[in-house]
Amino acid sequence: MIVTVTANPSLDRTVSLSAPLVRGSVTRAQSARHEPGGKGVNVSRIAQVAGVATVAILPAHRSDPLLAALDGVGLSYRAIPVDAEVRNNVTITEPDGTTTKINLPGTRLAPSELDALTELVLQTGADATWVALCGSLPPGVPAAWYRDLAEQLASQVARVAVDTSGAPLLAVAQAAHAGHIDLIKPNAEELAEISGTDAAELEATSASGDLRPTLAAAQSVQRRCGCTVLATLGAAGALLVTADGAWSATPPPIVPVSTVGAGDATLAGYLLADLDRVGPGEALRRAVAYGSAAAGLAGTQPPTVADLALGGVTVREVARAPA
């Protein structure tokens, strides 16, 4: 079972335009979608459509529209009650796939609510194979919460994956050497942040096909943290670095519709592949196939197995651990 934790969930509205966005102008939308969102929710929705047992954990009061939306898609979830409504995020997509996202800060969690959320994660995680800690933290939650939660989960069987950014990611990366975290999934900007490298250089060199700077950054993080690093690189694909070696994967050609949720789909694809006990190269292939499929869909709707173009993903081994 995959348990996901979304401390800062959202209701996502995606507005699709028929022409490029012009700031300060009146723009007519072509269509709009409303979907339950948050990085962990997105991962659980993909696991659900793949037929894998999953539970999404989040804070929301019983009459929150987000829970009604989760009921509408049939997703299994457990929620701790909070007073305020879950935030609403807005995504604007243009015809060429350019995506603009506006995220609100989220609902502040009181200490008692955070304690309840922590206890719920520990209880539910006892039956999980993977616990994925995903997304930003709302106001009132210490930056080290994911790190501390991973330490508490260490006594259980579940492995822990983390997909976050900023101060929570830095706290995780600094503590991951203790062995409490099994996987982190940064994008190029986040990888630069935790490796002390330049984000613009990693993005530019990866886009040009030169993965050496990004590989070196990911390897430095893997050695320091002792966990697997799954680095997503947008149109350049992804890198997977483990203690045994490193693999790169380039995606199949797609027409991008919305990049929101593509990284979440990549993580979901990797976790699903891991449950199937495939090797690292194949796990990366499936991860990139899921991420690419998500980028070709409107909004944050979960890609299905039928959406995957596995044959179009090229995987190669780019480094091997010394014998």
In a domain, 290, yes or no: yes
Q: Is residue 25 part of a domain?
A: no
For residue 24, is it within any domain?
A: no
Write out the residue range of the structural domain in which residue 251 sits: 2-19+30-320
User: Is residue 264 in a domain?
Assistant: yes
Phi-psi sector, 269: left (phi>0), alpha (psi -120 to 50), beta: alpha
Instruction: Render each residue's pLDDT in the chain as its tens digit; 323 residues.
Output: 999 999 999 988 888 888 888 888 888 888 888 889 899 999 999 999 999 999 999 999 999 999 999 999 999 999 999 988 888 888 888 888 888 888 888 889 999 999 999 999 999 999 999 999 999 999 989 999 999 999 999 888 899 999 999 999 999 988 655 568 999 999 999 999 999 999 999 999 998 889 999 999 999 999 988 999 999 999 899 999 999 999 999 999 888 887 878 999 999 999 999 999 999 999 999 999 999 999 988 777 899 999 999 999 999 999 887 65
φ, ψ (nearest 5 deg) of residue 131: -115, 120
Q: How many domains does the chain have?
A: 1
Q: CA-CA distance, 34 to 46, in Å (whole number)?
A: 17
Q: Is residue 300 part of a domain?
A: yes
Q: What CATH code is carried by the domain that includes residue 85?
A: 3.40.1190.20
- Decide if 234 is inside a domain: yes
Does 312 map to a domain? yes
Q: Are 227 and 242 in contact (CB under 8 A)?
A: no
- Choosing from 264, 274, 276, 307, which is the catalytic residue? 264
Of the candidates 73, 2, 71, 13, which has an alpha carbon nearest to the alpha carbon of residue 40? 2
Q: Is 198 a catalytic residue?
A: no
Residue 52 corresponds to which tokens in the numbers above?
A: 């894998």
User: Is the pTM for the entire model greater than 0.85?
Assistant: yes
Q: How many CA atoms lie within 13 A of 83 on its CB side?
A: 5
Q: Is residue 14 part of a domain?
A: yes
